[in-house]
């Protein structure tokens, strides 16, 4: 697990896919927890919104760690920022794709 979240070195394609799958699972669990907590209050609209916000926070946290630990480049910065924005608009499954792609780039 430690090797999956080590961003100091470039990952192989298989490593990037595994990172993507684990990130989707972690984001889904966080979104379900926050959405479930808000759902218990009876506000289903806020439950969906809080799930999206929780997933976006996971994407932002991963993006920050990748940016901090890896070599900086303009393409990586664009992909990391677009990943967080896509997560807010279309959800985590699509938003984490560019974030996982940055782990594969030099």
Q: Please give the tally of structural domains in the chain.
A: 1
User: Is 4 domain-assigned?
Assistant: no
* Residue with tokens 């979104």, as numbered in its chain: 31
Structure-block tokens of residue 10: 């470039």
User: Is 3 domain-assigned?
Assistant: no
User: Is 8 domain-assigned?
Assistant: no
User: Is 1 domain-assigned?
Assistant: no
pLDDT tier at 101, thresholds 50, 70, 90: very high
Among 3-7, 16-20, 26-30, 46-50, the range scoring the smallest mean pLDDT is 3-7
**45 in helix, strand or coil?**
helix
pTM: 0.86
> What residues contact 70, with CB distance under 8 A and at least 6 apart?
7, 8, 76, 102, 103
CA distance linking residue 45 with residue 61, whole number of Å: 25
User: Is 71 domain-assigned?
Assistant: yes
User: Is 6 domain-assigned?
Assistant: no
pLDDT tier at 1, thresholds 50, 70, 90: low
Instruction: State which residues form the domain around 89.
Output: 13-104
């Amino acid at each position: 697990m430690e090797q999956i979240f080590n961003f100091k070195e470039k990952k192989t394609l298989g490593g990037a896919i595994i990172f993507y799958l684990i990130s989707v699972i972690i984001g889904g669990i966080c979104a379900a927890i926050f959405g479930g907590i808000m759902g218990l209050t009876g506000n289903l609209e806020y439950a969906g919104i809080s799930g999206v916000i929780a997933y976006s926070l996971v994407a932002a946290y991963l993006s920050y760690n990748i940016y901090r630990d890896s070599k900086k480049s303009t393409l990586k910065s664009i992909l990391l920022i677009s990943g967080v924005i896509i997560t807010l608009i279309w959800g985590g499954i699509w938003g984490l794709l560019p974030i996982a792609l940055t782990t594969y780039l030099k």
